[in-house]
Amino acid sequence: MEREIARAIARVGIKVENQIAVAREMEKPITVLSIDGGGVRGIIPGVCLEFLESELQKLEKDPNARLVDYFDVISGTSTGGLIAAMISAPGDDKRPLYAAEKIVPFYKENCPKIFPNSGNWSEPNKTFAGEMLLKITETWEEIGQTSVTEAYDAKFEEIGGVKKPYYDGKYLHQLAKKILGEKRLHDTLTKVVIPAFDIKKLSPVVFSSYQVDNDQNKFLDALLSDICISTSAAPVYLPAYEFSNEGVEFNMIDGGVAANNPTVAAITEAVKRRSEDIEKDEKKLDVNSFRLVVLSLGTCQHKTEKYNVKMANSWWAVNWLIYPLRKWWKADHPLPEILFDANSDMIDYYCTMFFESFHNAENFLRVQDDKLPEDLARLDNGSPANLEKLEKYAKNLLNKPVTHLNPATFERSEVDTDETYAEALKK
Protein backbone atom coordinates (compact mmCIF):
# COMPACT_ATOMS: atom_id res chain seq x y z
CA MET A 1 0.00 0.00 0.00
CA GLU A 2 2.76 2.43 0.95
CA ARG A 3 4.49 1.66 -2.33
CA GLU A 4 1.31 2.39 -4.32
CA ILE A 5 0.80 5.66 -2.44
CA ALA A 6 4.40 6.64 -3.14
CA ARG A 7 3.94 5.86 -6.84
CA ALA A 8 0.71 7.85 -6.94
CA ILE A 9 2.41 10.83 -5.28
CA ALA A 10 5.29 10.53 -7.74
CA ARG A 11 2.86 10.48 -10.67
CA VAL A 12 1.08 13.55 -9.33
CA GLY A 13 4.43 15.25 -8.82
CA ILE A 14 5.48 14.52 -12.39
CA LYS A 15 2.13 15.78 -13.69
CA VAL A 16 2.41 18.99 -11.69
CA GLU A 17 5.99 19.44 -12.83
CA ASN A 18 4.93 18.97 -16.46
CA GLN A 19 2.09 21.45 -16.04
CA ILE A 20 4.49 24.00 -14.57
CA ALA A 21 6.87 23.46 -17.48
CA VAL A 22 4.03 23.90 -19.97
CA ALA A 23 2.84 27.04 -18.17
CA ARG A 24 6.34 28.50 -18.27
CA GLU A 25 6.61 27.70 -21.96
CA MET A 26 3.29 29.44 -22.64
CA GLU A 27 4.47 32.51 -20.73
CA LYS A 28 7.41 32.96 -23.08
CA PRO A 29 6.94 35.61 -25.75
CA ILE A 30 6.62 34.49 -29.35
CA THR A 31 9.65 35.86 -31.18
CA VAL A 32 9.16 36.70 -34.85
CA LEU A 33 11.65 37.75 -37.52
CA SER A 34 10.19 38.98 -40.81
CA ILE A 35 12.08 39.98 -43.97
CA ASP A 36 10.51 41.92 -46.85
CA GLY A 37 10.94 41.33 -50.55
CA GLY A 38 12.99 43.75 -52.62
CA GLY A 39 15.38 41.98 -55.01
CA VAL A 40 18.99 43.11 -54.68
CA ARG A 41 17.91 45.40 -51.84
CA GLY A 42 17.89 42.23 -49.72
CA ILE A 43 21.42 43.35 -48.86
CA ILE A 44 19.84 45.89 -46.48
CA PRO A 45 18.22 43.33 -44.14
CA GLY A 46 21.33 41.20 -44.66
CA VAL A 47 23.46 43.92 -43.04
CA CYS A 48 20.95 44.26 -40.18
CA LEU A 49 20.94 40.51 -39.54
CA GLU A 50 24.74 40.37 -39.53
CA PHE A 51 24.80 43.11 -36.91
CA LEU A 52 22.12 41.44 -34.78
CA GLU A 53 23.74 38.00 -34.87
CA SER A 54 27.13 39.44 -33.92
CA GLU A 55 25.55 41.23 -30.95
CA LEU A 56 23.86 38.01 -29.82
CA GLN A 57 27.20 36.21 -30.04
CA LYS A 58 28.79 38.86 -27.83
CA LEU A 59 25.92 38.63 -25.36
CA GLU A 60 26.11 34.83 -25.16
CA LYS A 61 29.92 34.74 -25.41
CA ASP A 62 29.35 32.12 -28.09
CA PRO A 63 30.66 32.62 -31.66
CA ASN A 64 28.40 29.80 -32.83
CA ALA A 65 25.15 31.46 -31.74
CA ARG A 66 22.75 31.79 -34.67
CA LEU A 67 19.50 33.64 -35.31
CA VAL A 68 17.49 30.40 -35.35
CA ASP A 69 18.37 29.98 -31.67
CA TYR A 70 16.40 33.11 -30.78
CA PHE A 71 13.41 33.31 -33.14
CA ASP A 72 10.39 31.02 -32.93
CA VAL A 73 9.51 31.82 -36.52
CA ILE A 74 11.37 33.41 -39.42
CA SER A 75 9.32 34.66 -42.35
CA GLY A 76 10.41 36.05 -45.69
CA THR A 77 8.99 37.02 -49.06
CA SER A 78 10.84 36.98 -52.38
CA THR A 79 14.47 37.91 -51.61
CA GLY A 80 13.49 37.76 -47.93
CA GLY A 81 12.28 34.19 -48.40
CA LEU A 82 15.68 33.22 -49.77
CA ILE A 83 17.37 34.78 -46.73
CA ALA A 84 14.93 33.00 -44.39
CA ALA A 85 15.80 29.66 -45.99
CA MET A 86 19.55 30.33 -45.94
CA ILE A 87 19.67 31.08 -42.21
CA SER A 88 17.25 28.34 -41.13
CA ALA A 89 18.01 25.35 -43.37
CA PRO A 90 20.38 22.84 -41.74
CA GLY A 91 23.87 22.03 -42.95
CA ASP A 92 25.63 18.72 -42.44
CA ASP A 93 26.43 19.76 -38.86
CA LYS A 94 22.72 20.37 -38.11
CA ARG A 95 23.41 24.07 -37.79
CA PRO A 96 22.27 26.76 -40.25
CA LEU A 97 23.69 26.61 -43.76
CA TYR A 98 24.58 30.29 -43.59
CA ALA A 99 25.66 32.49 -40.72
CA ALA A 100 24.23 35.99 -41.04
CA GLU A 101 27.68 37.36 -41.92
CA LYS A 102 27.58 35.31 -45.14
CA ILE A 103 24.40 36.94 -46.52
CA VAL A 104 25.96 40.10 -47.96
CA PRO A 105 28.87 38.23 -49.63
CA PHE A 106 26.29 35.83 -51.08
CA TYR A 107 24.41 38.74 -52.66
CA LYS A 108 27.58 40.33 -53.99
CA GLU A 109 28.65 37.09 -55.62
CA ASN A 110 25.32 36.03 -57.10
CA CYS A 111 23.19 39.09 -57.86
CA PRO A 112 25.28 40.07 -60.92
CA LYS A 113 24.57 36.60 -62.32
CA ILE A 114 20.87 36.57 -61.41
CA PHE A 115 20.39 40.00 -63.01
CA PRO A 116 23.02 40.07 -65.81
CA ASN A 117 23.72 43.38 -67.55
CA SER A 118 21.32 45.08 -65.15
CA GLY A 119 23.81 47.80 -64.29
CA ASN A 120 24.19 48.88 -67.90
CA TRP A 121 20.84 49.23 -69.63
CA SER A 122 22.40 50.92 -72.65
CA GLU A 123 22.99 47.34 -73.80
CA PRO A 124 19.92 45.41 -74.99
CA ASN A 125 18.70 42.66 -72.69
CA LYS A 126 19.03 39.24 -74.29
CA THR A 127 15.57 37.99 -73.34
CA PHE A 128 13.48 41.06 -74.12
CA ALA A 129 15.27 44.00 -75.64
CA GLY A 130 17.24 42.15 -78.27
CA GLU A 131 14.13 40.42 -79.55
CA MET A 132 12.10 43.64 -79.54
CA LEU A 133 14.76 45.64 -81.37
CA LEU A 134 15.16 42.85 -83.92
CA LYS A 135 11.41 42.83 -84.58
CA ILE A 136 11.35 46.62 -84.85
CA THR A 137 14.22 46.61 -87.34
CA GLU A 138 12.63 43.86 -89.41
CA THR A 139 9.30 45.68 -89.63
CA TRP A 140 10.57 49.24 -89.91
CA GLU A 141 10.33 49.41 -93.71
CA GLU A 142 7.38 47.02 -93.80
CA ILE A 143 5.11 49.30 -91.76
CA GLY A 144 6.30 52.40 -93.60
CA GLN A 145 7.24 54.40 -90.53
CA THR A 146 9.78 57.20 -90.65
CA SER A 147 11.44 56.64 -87.28
CA VAL A 148 12.47 53.89 -84.88
CA THR A 149 10.14 55.41 -82.29
CA GLU A 150 7.12 55.02 -84.57
CA ALA A 151 8.18 51.49 -85.45
CA TYR A 152 8.59 50.71 -81.76
CA ASP A 153 5.12 52.01 -80.91
CA ALA A 154 3.56 50.15 -83.83
CA LYS A 155 5.23 46.90 -82.83
CA PHE A 156 3.94 47.25 -79.27
CA GLU A 157 0.43 47.75 -80.63
CA GLU A 158 0.87 44.59 -82.69
CA ILE A 159 2.17 42.27 -79.97
CA GLY A 160 0.26 43.90 -77.11
CA GLY A 161 3.18 44.41 -74.76
CA VAL A 162 6.33 42.77 -73.46
CA LYS A 163 6.70 39.17 -74.56
CA LYS A 164 9.09 37.83 -71.95
CA PRO A 165 10.42 38.64 -68.47
CA TYR A 166 13.60 40.69 -68.31
CA TYR A 167 15.62 37.71 -67.01
CA ASP A 168 15.34 34.00 -67.72
CA GLY A 169 15.85 32.98 -64.07
CA LYS A 170 18.05 30.01 -64.96
CA TYR A 171 20.94 31.00 -62.71
CA LEU A 172 18.62 31.69 -59.75
CA HIS A 173 16.93 28.31 -60.20
CA GLN A 174 20.26 26.47 -60.38
CA LEU A 175 21.61 28.37 -57.38
CA ALA A 176 18.59 27.65 -55.16
CA LYS A 177 18.70 23.95 -56.02
CA LYS A 178 22.45 23.78 -55.47
CA ILE A 179 22.52 25.36 -52.01
CA LEU A 180 19.27 23.88 -50.67
CA GLY A 181 19.44 20.46 -52.32
CA GLU A 182 16.74 18.04 -51.17
CA LYS A 183 15.93 19.91 -47.97
CA ARG A 184 12.24 20.41 -47.34
CA LEU A 185 10.22 22.85 -45.30
CA HIS A 186 9.99 20.52 -42.30
CA ASP A 187 13.80 20.33 -42.13
CA THR A 188 14.32 23.94 -41.03
CA LEU A 189 15.87 24.55 -37.62
CA THR A 190 13.07 26.88 -36.55
CA LYS A 191 9.60 27.51 -37.92
CA VAL A 192 9.57 29.22 -41.32
CA VAL A 193 6.77 31.05 -43.16
CA ILE A 194 7.22 31.97 -46.84
CA PRO A 195 4.31 33.34 -48.93
CA ALA A 196 3.94 32.96 -52.69
CA PHE A 197 1.02 33.28 -55.12
CA ASP A 198 -0.61 30.63 -57.32
CA ILE A 199 -1.77 32.28 -60.56
CA LYS A 200 -3.78 29.23 -61.64
CA LYS A 201 -5.88 29.30 -58.48
CA LEU A 202 -5.60 33.09 -58.10
CA SER A 203 -4.78 32.45 -54.47
CA PRO A 204 -1.90 33.04 -52.06
CA VAL A 205 0.01 30.00 -50.85
CA VAL A 206 1.68 30.24 -47.46
CA PHE A 207 4.44 27.67 -47.08
CA SER A 208 4.43 27.34 -43.31
CA SER A 209 6.32 24.94 -41.05
CA TYR A 210 3.32 25.08 -38.74
CA GLN A 211 1.04 23.71 -41.46
CA VAL A 212 3.18 20.75 -42.51
CA ASP A 213 2.83 19.21 -39.04
CA ASN A 214 -0.72 18.40 -40.14
CA ASP A 215 -0.94 15.25 -42.27
CA GLN A 216 -3.62 16.89 -44.41
CA ASN A 217 -1.17 19.61 -45.47
CA LYS A 218 1.80 17.49 -46.51
CA PHE A 219 1.56 18.98 -49.99
CA LEU A 220 2.97 22.19 -48.48
CA ASP A 221 6.12 20.36 -47.35
CA ALA A 222 7.85 21.22 -50.60
CA LEU A 223 11.53 21.44 -51.41
CA LEU A 224 12.93 24.68 -50.02
CA SER A 225 14.45 25.36 -53.43
CA ASP A 226 11.02 25.22 -55.08
CA ILE A 227 9.59 27.50 -52.40
CA CYS A 228 12.39 30.06 -52.79
CA ILE A 229 12.13 30.10 -56.58
CA SER A 230 8.36 30.51 -56.30
CA THR A 231 8.39 33.41 -53.88
CA SER A 232 11.07 35.17 -55.96
CA ALA A 233 9.31 34.96 -59.35
CA ALA A 234 8.60 38.69 -59.61
CA PRO A 235 6.29 39.56 -62.53
CA VAL A 236 8.05 41.46 -65.34
CA TYR A 237 11.49 40.52 -63.96
CA LEU A 238 11.54 36.72 -63.66
CA PRO A 239 9.46 33.88 -65.13
CA ALA A 240 6.61 32.21 -63.27
CA TYR A 241 7.51 28.83 -61.80
CA GLU A 242 5.69 25.50 -61.90
CA PHE A 243 6.28 22.46 -59.70
CA SER A 244 4.35 19.62 -58.08
CA ASN A 245 4.45 18.10 -54.61
CA GLU A 246 2.42 15.23 -53.19
CA GLY A 247 0.26 15.25 -56.32
CA VAL A 248 -0.57 18.96 -56.02
CA GLU A 249 0.38 21.32 -58.85
CA PHE A 250 1.70 24.80 -58.10
CA ASN A 251 1.79 27.67 -60.65
CA MET A 252 3.69 30.32 -58.77
CA ILE A 253 4.72 33.95 -58.89
CA ASP A 254 6.35 36.26 -56.36
CA GLY A 255 4.87 36.25 -52.88
CA GLY A 256 5.11 40.03 -52.93
CA VAL A 257 1.83 40.32 -54.81
CA ALA A 258 0.13 38.92 -51.70
CA ALA A 259 2.46 39.72 -48.80
CA ASN A 260 5.63 41.61 -49.69
CA ASN A 261 5.90 42.28 -45.96
CA PRO A 262 5.17 38.85 -44.41
CA THR A 263 5.06 39.99 -40.77
CA VAL A 264 1.33 39.41 -40.27
CA ALA A 265 1.50 36.03 -42.01
CA ALA A 266 4.17 34.93 -39.52
CA ILE A 267 2.33 36.34 -36.50
CA THR A 268 -0.91 34.65 -37.55
CA GLU A 269 0.72 31.25 -37.96
CA ALA A 270 2.59 31.48 -34.65
CA VAL A 271 -0.40 32.72 -32.64
CA LYS A 272 -2.64 30.02 -34.10
CA ARG A 273 -0.20 27.33 -33.00
CA ARG A 274 0.14 28.84 -29.53
CA SER A 275 -3.66 28.88 -29.11
CA GLU A 276 -3.89 25.24 -30.21
CA ASP A 277 -1.20 24.25 -27.71
CA ILE A 278 -2.94 26.12 -24.90
CA GLU A 279 -6.32 24.56 -25.68
CA LYS A 280 -4.71 21.12 -25.84
CA ASP A 281 -3.37 21.62 -22.33
CA GLU A 282 -6.77 22.94 -21.19
CA LYS A 283 -5.36 26.33 -20.32
CA LYS A 284 -7.39 29.52 -20.43
CA LEU A 285 -6.81 31.73 -23.44
CA ASP A 286 -6.22 35.41 -22.78
CA VAL A 287 -4.22 38.25 -24.30
CA ASN A 288 -1.22 37.42 -22.08
CA SER A 289 -0.99 34.06 -23.83
CA PHE A 290 0.19 35.80 -26.98
CA ARG A 291 3.01 38.11 -26.00
CA LEU A 292 4.87 38.95 -29.16
CA VAL A 293 8.33 40.33 -29.86
CA VAL A 294 8.56 41.18 -33.55
CA LEU A 295 11.48 42.34 -35.67
CA SER A 296 10.36 43.34 -39.17
CA LEU A 297 13.08 44.19 -41.69
CA GLY A 298 12.21 46.24 -44.75
CA THR A 299 14.27 46.70 -47.89
CA CYS A 300 13.66 50.49 -47.90
CA GLN A 301 11.78 52.62 -50.41
CA HIS A 302 12.29 55.65 -52.60
CA LYS A 303 9.13 57.67 -51.99
CA THR A 304 8.68 60.63 -54.26
CA GLU A 305 5.91 62.19 -56.33
CA LYS A 306 6.67 60.12 -59.42
CA TYR A 307 3.22 59.79 -60.96
CA ASN A 308 0.00 61.77 -61.14
CA VAL A 309 -3.50 61.45 -62.59
CA LYS A 310 -2.65 63.30 -65.80
CA MET A 311 0.23 60.90 -66.49
CA ALA A 312 -1.75 57.77 -65.64
CA ASN A 313 -4.71 58.77 -67.79
CA SER A 314 -2.41 59.16 -70.80
CA TRP A 315 -0.85 55.69 -70.45
CA TRP A 316 -1.41 52.64 -72.59
CA ALA A 317 -2.26 49.54 -70.58
CA VAL A 318 1.34 48.33 -70.93
CA ASN A 319 2.62 51.57 -69.37
CA TRP A 320 1.44 50.30 -66.00
CA LEU A 321 4.21 47.73 -66.37
CA ILE A 322 6.82 49.80 -68.21
CA TYR A 323 6.96 53.59 -68.26
CA PRO A 324 8.11 55.18 -70.48
CA LEU A 325 8.18 52.64 -73.30
CA ARG A 326 10.71 54.58 -75.34
CA LYS A 327 13.23 54.28 -72.51
CA TRP A 328 12.50 50.68 -71.53
CA TRP A 329 16.17 50.09 -70.56
CA LYS A 330 15.82 52.45 -67.61
CA ALA A 331 12.04 52.58 -67.26
CA ASP A 332 9.97 52.51 -64.10
CA HIS A 333 7.48 49.73 -63.43
CA PRO A 334 4.51 51.50 -61.85
CA LEU A 335 2.15 48.61 -61.13
CA PRO A 336 4.64 46.19 -59.50
CA GLU A 337 6.19 49.10 -57.60
CA ILE A 338 2.82 50.33 -56.34
CA LEU A 339 1.61 46.85 -55.40
CA PHE A 340 4.74 45.86 -53.49
CA ASP A 341 5.18 49.17 -51.64
CA ALA A 342 1.48 49.52 -50.79
CA ASN A 343 1.42 45.93 -49.56
CA SER A 344 4.42 46.49 -47.28
CA ASP A 345 3.05 49.75 -45.90
CA MET A 346 -0.37 48.28 -45.12
CA ILE A 347 1.19 45.45 -43.12
CA ASP A 348 3.34 48.01 -41.31
CA TYR A 349 0.13 49.95 -40.60
CA TYR A 350 -1.65 46.87 -39.19
CA CYS A 351 1.29 45.97 -36.95
CA THR A 352 1.81 49.53 -35.72
CA MET A 353 -1.87 49.91 -34.82
CA PHE A 354 -2.02 46.47 -33.20
CA PHE A 355 0.95 46.94 -30.91
CA GLU A 356 0.00 50.50 -30.00
CA SER A 357 -3.56 49.38 -29.18
CA PHE A 358 -2.20 46.93 -26.61
CA HIS A 359 0.34 49.48 -25.29
CA ASN A 360 3.10 47.19 -26.49
CA ALA A 361 4.78 49.35 -29.10
CA GLU A 362 8.22 48.60 -27.67
CA ASN A 363 7.77 44.94 -28.71
CA PHE A 364 7.57 45.82 -32.41
CA LEU A 365 10.57 47.13 -34.33
CA ARG A 366 10.33 47.89 -38.02
CA VAL A 367 13.69 48.69 -39.64
CA GLN A 368 12.67 50.70 -42.69
CA ASP A 369 13.42 53.95 -44.50
CA ASP A 370 11.42 55.74 -47.20
CA LYS A 371 14.29 57.98 -48.28
CA LEU A 372 16.29 55.46 -50.27
CA PRO A 373 18.08 57.32 -53.11
CA GLU A 374 16.44 56.77 -56.48
CA ASP A 375 19.59 55.27 -58.00
CA LEU A 376 19.52 52.51 -55.35
CA ALA A 377 15.81 51.74 -55.54
CA ARG A 378 15.78 49.35 -58.50
CA LEU A 379 15.33 45.79 -57.33
CA ASP A 380 17.26 44.33 -60.29
CA ASN A 381 20.46 46.41 -60.38
CA GLY A 382 22.96 43.70 -59.60
CA SER A 383 26.04 45.67 -60.61
CA PRO A 384 28.92 45.40 -58.10
CA ALA A 385 28.96 49.18 -57.68
CA ASN A 386 25.27 49.27 -56.77
CA LEU A 387 25.61 46.40 -54.30
CA GLU A 388 28.48 48.20 -52.56
CA LYS A 389 26.34 51.33 -52.29
CA LEU A 390 23.43 49.34 -50.82
CA GLU A 391 25.71 47.81 -48.19
CA LYS A 392 27.04 51.22 -47.23
CA TYR A 393 23.52 52.64 -47.11
CA ALA A 394 22.39 49.82 -44.79
CA LYS A 395 25.30 50.35 -42.42
CA ASN A 396 24.48 54.05 -42.24
CA LEU A 397 20.82 53.22 -41.63
CA LEU A 398 21.75 51.31 -38.46
CA ASN A 399 23.09 54.55 -37.00
CA LYS A 400 20.00 56.58 -37.85
CA PRO A 401 17.17 57.25 -35.36
CA VAL A 402 14.36 54.71 -35.20
CA THR A 403 11.28 55.75 -37.17
CA HIS A 404 7.73 54.49 -37.21
CA LEU A 405 4.84 54.73 -39.64
CA ASN A 406 2.41 57.57 -39.09
CA PRO A 407 -0.99 55.84 -39.55
CA ALA A 408 -2.60 59.06 -40.79
CA THR A 409 -0.07 60.05 -43.45
CA PHE A 410 1.79 56.76 -44.06
CA GLU A 411 5.03 58.71 -43.78
CA ARG A 412 7.82 57.62 -41.48
CA SER A 413 8.78 59.88 -38.59
CA GLU A 414 11.26 59.60 -35.74
CA VAL A 415 10.02 58.21 -32.44
CA ASP A 416 10.21 60.27 -29.25
CA THR A 417 13.55 58.81 -28.17
CA ASP A 418 16.90 59.41 -29.86
CA GLU A 419 17.49 55.67 -30.10
CA THR A 420 19.18 54.41 -33.25
CA TYR A 421 18.32 51.19 -35.03
CA ALA A 422 21.59 49.67 -33.83
CA GLU A 423 20.73 50.51 -30.22
CA ALA A 424 17.20 49.15 -30.63
CA LEU A 425 18.53 45.87 -32.03
CA LYS A 426 20.85 45.47 -29.05
CA LYS A 427 17.99 45.61 -26.53
Which positions are annotated as active-site residues?
A: 78, 254
Using CA atoms, how far apart are residues 226 and 205, in angstroms rounded to an integer?
13
Strands 412-414 and 203-208: unpaired
Distance of CA 420 to the CA centre of its chain: 23
Number of Cβ within a 10 Å radius of residue 356: 13
Q: How many CA atoms lie within 13 A of 58 on its CB side?
A: 8
Using CA atoms, how far apart are residues 32 and 87, in angstroms rounded to an integer?
14
Distance of CA 408 to the CA centre of its chain: 25
